[in-house]
Structure 1
Amino acid sequence: MKSSLSLAALSLAISNVSAHYIFQQLSVGSTKYPVFQYIRQNSNYNSPVTDLTSNDLRCNVGASGANTQTVTVAAGSQLTFTLDTPVYHQGPISVYMSKAPTTASAYDGSGDWFKIKDFGPSFSGGQATWPMQGSYTFDLPTCIPSGDYLVRIQSLAIHNPWPSGIPQFYISCAQITLTGGGSTTPGPTALIPGAFKDTDPGYTANIYSNFNSYTVPGPAVFTCGASSGGGGGGGSSPPATSKPATTLTTSVKPTSTTTKTGTTTTVAPGGGGSCSVAKYAQCGGTGFSGCTVCAAGSTCTKSNEYYSQCL
């Protein structure tokens, strides 16, 4: 028995050490609520979801509404998702919503989802910069119908390029009751799973080679007043975070391209400059041409041929 308990403890310790980041805390306006009070808690020690056909892509592994409370918020309110540690994998952050047929706690997320915010890369001076932060803030739409919703935030990590590597989804869902809404039916919509395919340019993008524009996977962002429910933007810009924000830059060649519909940014010509890679950010790998000097207190450590990280 003692041996079994020791092995179990060791297994738990290893799982916790290998854990990644997780969106675990919700704020409404300036009010920050306790961890997992209104966010469904996952059961996979923050390991990413990688199967594009899995229902776990909705709210994460083991994340149900059974033990999660639902917070009442007014349409147009500002929400913030805060992580246990800042995002340290390159890739876009996206926010989705799905209206529950009854209550948010009973909803499995099998209905239609619409996107309300993308946090994508910016391109300037021959470099791509990702918004890797400790929290993400956005505004709820004012025009959608009142009722219970799941609000889903997703970090799509593309630091290990497809097909040699598999992109990773870090996901959490909050439960809200929206009041004071309008009568607009949001769109475009998509089902999850189904919204993301291994042929999407934002899924297959190689950030280490000829990376000069990017299209965030999934449907276009819905905004109130848009004629077809599409378009970019939606919500406020990322705010300053309570934890230090991490900004990663990747050198790219200045070119101009045209991409598919979605949230797209294009590189602007320019020069580089001195650099220092923050802890947890990328510092090397096959095809990587960004900064390789880690900030004081961290060392560039190889994970695989495509990815080295300051640890």
Structure 2
Amino acid sequence: MKAFLATLTVVAAQLAAAHYTLPDLIANGTTAADWVYVRTTQNHYSNAPITDVNSTEFRCYELDMNATPGQTSIATVEAGSTIGFKADNDFYHPGYFSAYMSRASPAANSPEAGTGQTWFKIWEDPPVFENGALVFPSESMNEITFTIPKSLPSGQYLVRGEQIALHVASSVGGAQFYIGCAQLNVVNGGDGAPGPLVSIPGVYTGYEPGILINIYDLPANYPGYTSPGPAVWRG
């Protein structure tokens, strides 16, 4: 029995090591400590992904959807600056990366922020189809960075980093989502009109060809990877 329990412990540790969270905001040239500006997620210990794209928890995967926002600080950043997320592990799984933002009302640290049709995509890093196979962003990296559009109006926002891991995505519900939401106050912005706007959850059905896919057995006439969700707004 002891040997069996020890084996289970090792397996659980290996699974956690293969997964990750996105606890650290990269902004203003520095990487913040864990969960200072990023809302603590339910998987902050287990590192397990969320797979239900229709769950209300899919928005930011907070530990407590009511309490966590108010317990998280708000980072002040400039429009046009580079921000991002650092993971607590390497991105072991091949997948698609993206970042969304939402104007936060009444504030970035309120539970109501991001609950409507307010989200827009500002960045993506999809796999490239070459020589009959998908080539994914490096699995040895542990951070993603992107630029806040310079014309984004000043104000408070949520920014949501996401990886859709596709290593077991050949059946519905197989894709694994790794999510982090940081709270921002954007200054020195412009007069842009972000869009198209989507709701999260609601942005995906789970049946998109970029989510429901067998990356190891692509069809002969495969046209290349199709990014799920809206087009990127670049300002």
Give the partner amino acid of 1:54: S
Give the partner amino acid of 2:27: V
After TM superposition, the structure 1 = structure 2 runs for residues 23-102 of structure 1, keeping only pairs within 5 Å, are 23-44=22-43, 45-62=46-63, 64-102=68-106
Deviation for aligned residue 1:43: 2.5
Larger Rg: 1
Once residues 51 and 34 of structure 2 are traced to their aligned partners in structure 1, the CA distance between those partners, rounded to angstroms, is 25
Deviation for aligned residue 1:46: 2.0
Q: Is the 8 A contact 1:96 1:153 kept in 2?
A: yes
Q: What are the superposed Cα offsets for residues 166-223 of structure 1, whole Å, 9 maximum, x if unpaired?
A: 1111100011100111122211111011100122111112211226411111111111
Give the partner amino acid of 1:160: V
After TM superposition, the structure 1 = structure 2 runs for residues 260-299 of structure 1, keeping only pairs within 5 Å, are none
Q: Is the 8 A contact 2:121 2:231 kept in 1?
A: yes
The residue that corresponds to 1:110 in the other structure is 115
Moved more, 171-180 or 201-210: 201-210
- Identity across matched positions, percent: 39
Once residues 201 and 212 of structure 2 are traced to their aligned partners in structure 1, the CA distance between those partners, rounded to angstroms, is 17
Deviation for aligned residue 1:12: 9.8
The residue that corresponds to 2:20 in the other structure is 21
The residue that corresponds to 2:204 in the other structure is 196
- Structure 1 residue ranges (4+ consecutive) displaced by more than 3 angstroms after TM superposition: 11-18
Q: Helix, strand or coil for the counterpart of 1:56?
A: helix
Q: Is the 8 A contact 2:173 2:206 kept in 1?
A: no
Deviation for aligned residue 1:126: 3.8
Q: Report how many residues are paired.
A: 215
Sort the Cα spacing of 1:46 and 1:144 in 2 relative to 1 into closer, same or farther, 3 A.
Answer: same
Q: What are the superposed Cα offsets for residues 44-72 of structure 1, whole Å, 9 maximum, x if unpaired?
A: 32211111211111111425312110011
Give the partner amino acid of 2:60: C
Deviation for aligned residue 1:119: 0.9
Q: Is the 8 A contact 1:100 1:107 kept in 2?
A: no
TM-score by length of 1: 0.64
Which runs of 5 or more structure 2 residues have no equivalent in the other structure? none
The residue that corresponds to 1:266 in the other structure is none
The residue that corresponds to 2:188 in the other structure is 180
Give the partner amino acid of 1:62: L
